[in-house]
Amino acid sequence: MTEAPKWLVAGNWKMNGLKGDLGELASLAEKVGPELAGIVDVAICPPSTLVMAAAETANGSGVAIGGQDCHTATSGAFTGDVSAEMLVEAGAKYIIVGHSERRDAYSESDETVRAKAEAVLGAGADPIICVGETLAEREGGDTLDVISKQIAGSTPTTAKNGRLVIAYEPVWAIGTGLTPTLEQIEEVHTAIRAQLVAQFGVDGESIRILYGGSMKPDNAAEILKVRDVNGGLVGGASLKADSFFAIVTAVQGA
């Protein structure tokens, strides 16, 4: 059996955060000491406007900075968009792509998400590719089919030595306080792992599969113990250093 990949706990601030909120990042950066950083990669993905200042704030600490989305192209006439290259230059090490809020509100297809993930790899950052079923799809018994199709359609053709990250985020669990049962999480993560290994061979073993959707300090420890859960993508609970740090430290008991 291959060794489990290093933990990754990433915070997604979504459209929240002004300069003054970098104080939360500074206090998180102070808390993540070298020992913890040795076992878990920690990242905060603030809005694009804060990426550069956040990278300065977290510089030299165990906290990396990420972006929340990018365009598929490197540059061009795309008013309002940012490219992966721009985010990387500003200090992003990860870029989230295909979040369900973007798949839904901006009708992003699997093909678009794949092109974005390729752009992220091309720019030298690691894409965090989000997948997840709606409540209707879960209730219709279609969860595994939906996820499998999203993985097949949204992942690049090469895994670049495990530099991809997958985040399983059931749409109905995001921002709702609802979470799947541990058995449901395990079923999906195990299926994703099998698909990644079938698709990428041994590289598929080293791809981190994060769970996301109402992850909180009080449920993180049990979720992180589930087989093939290699970390978390955290929305609401990442906005405050204390609650996010409590999730990060939960990897120690998992």
What residues form DSSP beta bridges with 122? none
Q: Which residue is nearest to ligand PGA (CB)?
A: 235
Closest CA to 246 of 217, 210, 212, 221: 217
- x-marked contacts with ligand PGA along 197-216 as a string, rule CB under 6 A: ---------------xxxx-
Size of site (CB under 6 A) for ligand PGA: 13
Q: Least distance from C-beta 217 to ligand PGA, angstroms? A: 12
| 99 labelled catalytic | yes
Closest CA to 110 of 155, 144, 77: 155
Name the residue nearer to ligand PGA (CB basis): 12 or 155: 12
- x-marked contacts with ligand PGA along 113-152 as a string, rule CB under 6 A: ----------------------------------------
Our finding on whether 236 is near ligand PGA (CB under 6 A) is yes
Measured distance CA(144)–CA(163) in Å, rounded: 23
Our finding on whether 231 is near ligand PGA (CB under 6 A) is no
Structure tokens at 25: 């990042």
- Burial class of residue 37, CB neighbours in 10 A (0-12, 13-18, 19+): middle
Q: Least distance from C-beta 82 to ligand PGA, angstroms? A: 19
Catalytic entry in 99, 101, 108, 133: 99
Structure tokens at 244: 């996010």
* Among positions 235, 241, 244, 250, the unique one binding ligand PGA when judged by CB under 6 A: 235
Contact partners, residue 87, CB within 8 Å, separation at least 6: 48, 51, 67, 70, 95, 123, 125
> Taking a C-beta distance cutoff of 8 angstroms, is the pair 74, 18 a contact?
no
Name the residue nearer to ligand PGA (CB basis): 85 or 166: 166
Kindly list the distances between the CA atom of residue 143 and the CA atoms of 14, 171, 203, in Å, as whole numbers in the listed order: 25, 11, 25
Letter for the amino acid at 112?
T
Our finding on whether 29 is near ligand PGA (CB under 6 A) is no
Letter for the amino acid at 14?
K
Q: Least distance from C-beta 76 to ligand PGA, angstroms? A: 28
Contact partners, residue 149, CB within 8 Å, separation at least 6: 110
Name the residue nearer to ligand PGA (CB basis): 45 or 121: 45
* Among positions 8, 12, 40, 129, the unique one binding ligand PGA when judged by CB under 6 A: 12
Window 161-200: residues binding ligand PGA (CB under 6 A): 169, 174-175
Measured distance CA(101)–CA(213) in Å, rounded: 12
> Taking a C-beta distance cutoff of 8 angstroms, is the pair 205, 212 a contact?
no
Stretch in the footprint of ligand PGA (CB under 6 A) among 59-67, 135-143, 181-189, 227-235: 227-235
Name the residue nearer to ligand PGA (CB basis): 162 or 236: 236
Residues designated catalytic: 99, 169
Interacting residue ranges for ligand PGA, rule: CB under 6 A:
12, 169, 174-175, 212-215, 233-237
